[in-house]
């Protein structure tokens, strides 16, 4: 009965590869997010998605693209991976943008 789940938990890949991280929420929320946590544990919003409206943090490279097949899922696709993409990526969801967000367990991405 996990509220927000992510797969995989760990992802190790080489530079230049394309990878995806999946996120699912069973809370009935209408808004989903992706955050990046760097090695110093600093968290930064990457995307928010609500009712087909995508809001992108201007600092996110266009190699990153979220895709939402339905309201319960927001997957993160990353093309041409770079060393600097190594981080922990968290998915989150909320019931409207103003309310508290619930986070998934994170995906640790390591690019070698």
Partner 1 sequence: GDSVTQMEGPVTLSEEAFLTINCTYTATGYPSLFWYVQYPGEGLQLLLKATKADDKGSNKGFEATYRKETTSFHLEKGSVQVSDSAVYFCALYSGGGADGLTFGKGTHLIIQP
Least distance CB 31 / partner 1 (angstroms): 9
**Using the rule CB under 8 A, is 7 a contact of partner 1?**
no
| Residue window 32-71: x/- pattern of binding to partner 1, with contact defined by CB under 8 A | -x-x----xxxxxxxxx------xxxx-------------
Q: Which long-range contacts (CB under 8 A, 24 or more apart) does 21-25 make?
A: 21/75, 21/76, 21/78, 21/89, 21/91, 21/107, 21/109, 22/73, 22/75, 23/73, 23/74, 23/75, 23/76, 23/91, 23/104, 24/72, 24/73, 25/72, 25/73, 25/91, 25/93, 25/102, 25/104
Size of the site for partner 1 (CB under 8 A): 27
Our finding on whether 22 is near partner 1 (CB under 8 A) is no
Strand pairing category for 10-13 and 107-111: parallel
Using CB under 8 A, which of the segments 21-29, 63-71, 77-85, 94-102 binds partner 1? 94-102
Which stretch, 15-23, 61-69, 76-84, 97-105, contacts partner 1 (CB under 8 A)? 97-105
Cβ 10 to partner 1, closest distance in Å?
A: 11
């Amino acid at each position: 009965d996990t509220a927000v789940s992510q797969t995989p938990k760990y992802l190790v890949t080489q530079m230049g590869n394309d990878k995806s991280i999946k996120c699912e929420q069973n809370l009935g929320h209408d808004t989903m997010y992706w955050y990046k946590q760097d090695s110093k544990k600093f968290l930064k919003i990457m995307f928010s998605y609500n009712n087909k409206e995508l809001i992108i943090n201007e600092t996110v490279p266009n190699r990153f693209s979220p895709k939402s097949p339905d309201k319960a899922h927001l997957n993160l696709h990353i093309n041409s991976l770079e060393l600097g993409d190594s981080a922990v990526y968290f998915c989150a969801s909320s019931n409207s943008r103003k309310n508290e967000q619930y986070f998934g367990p994170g995906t640790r991405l390591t690019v070698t």
